[in-house]
Structures are given as structure tokens and as C-alpha cells.
Amino acid sequence: MGFNSAIFILNDRLGIAEKDPEGFGKAIIRAIQVHGYNQPNPLIGFGAECFHCQHADGNNLYLLGGNTVRKLPGYAFTARHVPDEELNLAILKDFADKMGFRLVKKSVKKETA
């Protein structure tokens, strides 16, 4: 399966990377290499950071916005063949549990004849 990485890039800073594409590429590689070694979100420079690097079967929740990435407390370890609905529910339940809530499905109202 392997490992996957995700990079957060500030579009407003693309000009910096465009001036030094080789340096930008090397910085991305370096950030991926050090991710997880006491550096949870290594800054790449060039207006970017590596915010996710883990086994391909691990699924996390992230909040993206305001020029930042925040990791939320939700996780599911599943294989690629798991249907999206099942994976989404597993992550949502884990997130709710870690936030101190219990996720329950709404009851279906019975129709009267």
C-alpha cells in the first residue's frame, strides 16, 4: 500500500516557488522525509507545509481554511475497497467520540395511514 503525503500551498506565494522550482521540489521532498520525526507539520518554505504523511490505509480529518491546516481528532484505518459511506461514518463516529459525544442515527418517523 505505501505511504501518502499531502502538501498545503498558499496560492498567493506561488510566485516564490515559480522563481525557484528546483528548490521548491527539494523542499517538498525534505519536508516529507522529516514528517513524523518530532516535526508534525514541517514548513516547506515557499508558502507551503507538509501536513499529512502516513500509511495509505490511515484516514484523518483536517480543517482547511484561513491559510492554515488543522488536524481534527478523527481517524479510521481502512482499505481502499471500503465504501465511502462506511468510511465517512467510521471517521465521524471516532471524531464524535474523541470530542466527548456519541453519534446516533436519527429515528425514522413512521407514516400513519
pLDDT at 81: 78
Mean pLDDT, 10 residues at a time, the chain of 113 residues: 85 92 91 70 78 84 88 80 84 90 87 72
To which residue does cell 464524535 refer? 96
pLDDT at 97: 92
pLDDT at 19: 94
pLDDT at 112: 74
What pTM was estimated for this model as a whole?
A: 0.71
d(CA 55, CA 95): 19
* Strand ranges in the chain using DSSP code E only, listed in sequence order: 3-9, 43-45, 48-55, 58-65, 68-77
Burial of 104 (0-12, 13-18, 19+ CB in 10 A): exposed
pLDDT at 100: 94
The structural domains of the chain, with segments of one domain joined by +, span 1-52, 57-105
